[in-house]
Amino acid sequence: MTTQQWIIFGILTVTMALFIWNRWRYDVVSLAALLVATITGIVPADEVFSGFSHPAVITVVAVLVVSKALFNAGVIDLIARQLGRVGDRPMVQVAALTGLVTVCSGFMNNVGALALLMPVATWMSRKSGRSPSLLLMPMAFGSLLGGMLTLIGTPPNMIISAYRANVAETPFGMFDFMPVGVCVALVGVVFISLVGWRLIPKQTNNVASGELFEISEYISELRVPEESKFAGFPLHDLLLAMPNKEDITIVGLVRNDKRFLAPSMYRVLRAGDILMVETDSDSLKSLIDDGGLEFIKGDEGEEGGKEKEDEKGKPNKSIESDEVSVLEAIVASESLLIGKTASRLLLRERYGVNVIAVARRGKRIQERLGCIRFMAADILLLQGGAKSMPSTLSELGCLPLAERGLRIGKPRKVLLPVGIFAVAMTLVAVNVLPAQIALTCAALVLIVAGLLSPTDAYKSIDWPVVVLLGAMIPIGNAFETTGAANLIADQLHGVAQATPPAATLAILMVGTMLLSNIVNNAAAAILMAPIAASLSHAIGANADPFLMCVAVGASCAFLTPIGHQSNAMVMAPGGYRFGDYWRMGLPLSVLVVVVGVPTILWFWPL
């Protein structure tokens, strides 16, 4: 091997190791790898940032913006609302949800499609009295299968399409992926619906969110006596005097039989007020000893003691109203909450929300709230203004996990964005405009038409993925130009000569699958595309079936929760462990190879 080949293999080995270690985020790792490749002369200095103008990157950005506009219009909500009619049979629920998220993922960001339908799955689980674990993993896998349907379904398809232009002069079209994608996705959804969901381990410690947060067991009521030194002073002063004020959440105040939920910290206390407090025993003792408040026992009347459940058995009914909502939300991977505590962020003061409880991996965290550092996929029980809650969740980077998180868009606001999107898709399908141009035009029209604000458009962009693509594309090019890809292809050439073409394609697909389960699927596609093209050239075959194998393999990260953001997103709400994914994911992966390779050879012959 040449010096440059040793360097590129070294850079990629370290990069893959850091991806797997996950100590630093993948965008930071990929950017560092790009800079090292540039400093060592592998990537020319004038091409170091060329990846950020790559058609695949522009297309990804445009798709994310358009997907956000469709979400704001309530397109998915209109469809999802019909799922309430499918009944309580688990197989039917799995089939309906998985099928819907698969179709939606073919035309919008697959993580976004999953996020929009997760509240529906949570609601259906509650209604049926079953764990959401039976629905969430099938939906996550369905979102990956749906990405194979169209050019814009997933970043690997966009990368493979753009790479094809280097070896066949023209990129893949909008629906060139659909013949293979439909066959694989259809078989995959049928398998998940009939067999796959039965392979998911039963979660003994995972319960529906309504049982996960039995907050009635944690709320106490304290009366402000006439002799209290805090009578006549705002709530803020009472909390400021407590040694563990960050562990005390005032969820309500009762005055003269009138209830004020999530009261302002500047509301003045009066003698006789009753505070509804969620806190630990030590902080409760401080409120009584240091604050001079009186504990109300449960037998002092209906208004005292622990809050009673309503006729539907919802323990949190007493701390919500038409003006104040209580809902569960999941911390997204890019949330500003990650690594911080509620007290540090001043969530009550800045955002007007109370964090009442936190759950992780299907169990409520029993630590003091002020000491909990939030992690991605944590489930939070939040209390705040009903009108402001949707915008607050968006600003914090959280996704609602309750039926009340669903919104119904108005038909007049649905037809226009759908029409704009349909026109863009048509222009791409008939080769009038390339995907990156047509979808960027659609995004701009949606913003100009007032269907999406510029601020929301920028927020909708998954910048870590953009940086990953922009950094890894020049490295992928260097992997090819240095001859490193040819070295691997030469090794595979020997295997290809001794095996049928179908076996060679299967090996390529399986290799891509394994790589996509430990690194980002876009990175897997970038690295495997040059190998696929070199291998096809070595055996004198058409490159299209080889590139299609990479596209399918990169979309099938079914074995681990780290292979794709969709898998990671459902891990905590479903109460899954790392090793739970392969139970359904392994047979599904085998099925994809068995169906995918013959289908590719049928539609894209050698």
Of 116-120, 205-209, 317-321, 520-524, the one with minimum mean pLDDT is 205-209
- What pLDDT is attached to residue 437? 95
Render 433-452 in DSSP notation, one character per residue: S-HHHHHHHHHHHHHHTTSS
Measured at the CA of 225, the angle between CA 224 and CA 227, to 5 degrees, comes to 125
pLDDT above 70 for 210: no
For residues 520 and 15, the model is more confident at 15
pLDDT above 90 for 217: no
In the three-class reduction of DSSP (H, G, I as helix; E, B as strand; rest coil), residue 255 is classed as strand
- Both tokens of residue 586? 């392994």
- N- to C-terminal Cα distance for the chain? 30
Would you give the distance in Å from CA 282 to the centre of its chain?
A: 37
| Residues pairing with 354 in the sheet | 383
488 in Cβ contact with 9 (< 8 Å): no
- Both tokens of residue 162? 């753009």
Q: What Å distances lie between residue 605 and 541, 544, 548, 597, 600, CA to CA? A: 9, 8, 11, 11, 7
Residue 317 pLDDT grade (very low, low, confident, very high; cuts 50, 70, 90): very low
486 in Cβ contact with 531 (< 8 Å): no
- What pLDDT is attached to residue 266? 86
Q: What Å distances lie between residue 365 and 362, 383, 392, CA to CA? A: 9, 18, 23
> What's the pLDDT tens digit per position in 364-382?
777 777 778 888 767 888 8
- What pLDDT is attached to residue 447? 94
Q: What residues contact residue 84 under an 8 Å CB cut-off, 6+ apart?
A: 124
| Residues pairing with 524 in the sheet | none
Instruction: Measure the CA–CA gap between 164 and 540, rounded to whole angstroms.
Output: 16
For residues 186 and 384, the model is more confident at 186
65 in Cβ contact with 452 (< 8 Å): yes
Mean pLDDT in residue range 476-496: 87
Q: Tell me the pTM.
A: 0.76
Residue 361 pLDDT grade (very low, low, confident, very high; cuts 50, 70, 90): low
Of 340-344, 496-500, 529-533, the one with minimum mean pLDDT is 340-344
> What's the pLDDT tens digit per position in 406-454?
444 444 477 888 899 999 999 998 889 999 999 999 999 999 998 889 9
**Torsion angles phi and psi, residue 251, rounded to 5:** -95, -15
Instruction: Considering only CA atoms, give the Rg of the chain.
Output: 27
* Listed residue (175, 185, 5) closest to 555, CA to CA: 185
296 in Cβ contact with 274 (< 8 Å): yes
CB atoms within 10 A of CB 513: 26
Instruction: Measure the CA–CA gap between 19 and 30, rounded to whole angstroms.
Output: 9
| Exposed e or buried b per residue across 439-470, where buried means at least 16 C-beta atoms within 10 angstroms of its C-beta | bbbbbebbbeeebbeeebbebbbbebbbbbbb
Q: What residues contact residue 13 under an 8 Å CB cut-off, 6+ apart?
A: none
- What pLDDT is attached to residue 263? 86
> What's the pLDDT tens digit per position in 270-300?
998 988 888 777 778 888 888 888 887 654 5
Domains of the chain: 3-48+75-207+462-603 (no CATH), 213-405 (3.30.70.1450)
**Torsion angles phi and psi, residue 326, rounded to 5:** -125, 125
In the chain, the amino acid numbered 344 is R
> What's the pLDDT tens digit per position in 235-273?
888 888 887 777 788 888 889 878 888 888 888 999 989
Could you tell me if residue 402 is left (phi over 0), alpha (psi between -120 and 50 degrees) or otherwise beta? beta
* Listed residue (226, 347, 198, 357) closest to 280, CA to CA: 357
Would you give the distance in Å from CA 456 to the centre of its chain?
A: 17
| Local structure of residue 268 (DSSP, 8 states) | B
Tokens 């996509």 — which residue? 516
403 in Cβ contact with 338 (< 8 Å): no
- What pLDDT is attached to residue 190? 97
What percent of the chain shows pLDDT beyond 90? Answer: 36
Helices and strands counted in the chain (H then E): 25, 10
| Local structure of residue 227 (DSSP, 8 states) | T
> What's the pLDDT tens digit per position in 574-605?
878 888 899 999 999 999 999 999 999 999 99
Measured at the CA of 579, the angle between CA 576 and CA 585, to 5 degrees, comes to 90
Mean pLDDT in residue range 68-86: 72
The secondary structure of the chain in percent helix, strand, coil, rounded to multiples of 5, reads: 60, 10, 30
Mean pLDDT in residue range 143-169: 91
> What's the pLDDT tens digit per position in 35-58?
999 999 999 999 999 999 998 899
- What pLDDT is attached to residue 207? 45
Mean pLDDT in residue range 20-27: 81
- What pLDDT is attached to residue 570? 83
114 in Cβ contact with 141 (< 8 Å): no
> What's the pLDDT tens digit per position in 115-149?
778 777 877 887 777 878 899 999 999 999 999 99
pLDDT above 80 for 13: yes
- Both tokens of residue 194? 């009939």
Rounded to a whole number, what is the largest CA-CA distance in the chain?
92
342 in Cβ contact with 317 (< 8 Å): no
The alpha carbon dihedral of 589, 590, 595, 601 has a sign of: positive
Render 338-382 in DSSP notation, one character per residue: TT--HHHHTHHHHH-EEEEEEEETTEE--S-GGGPPP-TT-EEEE
pLDDT above 60 for 304: no
Q: What average pLDDT does the structure give for the chain?
A: 84
- What pLDDT is attached to residue 343? 72
